Amino acid sequence: MPDTANGHCVVAIAQMAPVWLDRRATLSKMAGRIREAGESGVRLLAFGEGVLPGYPFWLEHTDGARFESSLQKGLFSHYVDQAVDIAAGDLGELRAAAREAGVWVMAGCIERDRSRGYSVFASLVTIDDDGEVRNVHRKLMPTHEERLVWSAGDGAGLRTLDFDGFRLGGLNCWENWMPLARSALYSQGEDLHVAVWPGNLHNTETITPFIAREGRSFALSACSLLRREDIPGNAPHADMLRDTLPPVCANGGSCIAGPDGEWIVPPRVDDEVLLIAEIDRARVREERQNFDPFGHYSRPDVLELQVDRRRRSGVVISR
């Protein structure tokens, strides 16, 4: 059993296909992975971007930008209905599983905030081992066709958390290419970074070791799967989507790199799997000897970053 007091910790990635566009069934599947991780001694378990209830793969293949399309309106309506309302308790099953298993969880969720109407966000939710929601980071900028269904987030969730002696943070998908978003986490002492992706090797194989090497941190890239057979029969327009979407929309690519940028767990594709690794905080200290991005190698007299962490609502109501 790893000794977290001495800087050792077991982390894992649950590479899985959601029960696509079905929140309740996907929650149950994720809870099962959390329990499995707990039985394996895992302390932190990461899931892919938007795994709950699923990434909007239909947009690229069904003329998603067509204005006033009844097909697109219907799919969006279902997507919002299956999104996660945290305030309403939709994450209760995950929170209970995390508490019972003694596992921290970082999971990509399509989040609906009722104060913002019927718009949704691609959010990275962090739940601690007491089952408490510790952070909700809404993706700053949806990428390309994602903007047809996801709203732009804000900086409220650009935070790091103390976790078993590490400083834990994370970003959604292409946010990991944003230098200032990464820097916002590095500046808070991040040394364990979780990057969540919808899934595909081409997303993770180059940037994961880069982030690890740049931040001199451990980097986990968590991905999902979606194959034609993963589209459930009760999904809206299921037959049409099976005919229209490619055989494989997401092939995984989950992986873990160390603070030197070398693989601890190389990218894994095509199968549902729990990828487990033991990490040692001493490796961060060793690699920070010659480069510490917001320590001895920074120049705060020359370069300064400002981060606005207010939760934006678009309205200020005065009494």
Q: How many CB atoms lie within 10 A of CB 129?
A: 18
Catalytic residue chosen out of the listed positions 9, 109, 173, 249? 173
Beta carbons of 261 and 210 less than 8 angstroms apart: yes
Query: Measured between alpha carbons, how far is 105 from 96 in angstroms, rounded to an integer?
Result: 11
Token pair in block for residue 239: 């037959």
C-alpha separations of 226 from 189, 213, 261 in Å: 35, 30, 28
Catalytic residue chosen out of the listed positions 9, 109, 139, 214? 139
C-alpha separations of 111 from 23, 42, 107, 224, 296 in Å: 11, 26, 11, 17, 38
The answer to whether 145 is a known catalytic residue is no
The answer to whether 73 is a known catalytic residue is no
Catalytic residue chosen out of the listed positions 9, 49, 111, 287? 49
Neighbouring-strand partners of residue 121: 111
Query: Measured between alpha carbons, how far is 15 from 46 in angstroms, rounded to an integer?
Result: 9
Query: Measured between alpha carbons, how far is 252 from 61 in angstroms, rounded to an integer?
Result: 20
Beta carbons of 149 and 79 less than 8 angstroms apart: yes
Neighbouring-strand partners of residue 104: 44
If 0-12 CB within 10 Å is exposed, 13-18 middle and 19+ buried, where does residue 69 land? middle
Q: Please identify every residue annotated as catalytic.
A: 49, 139, 173
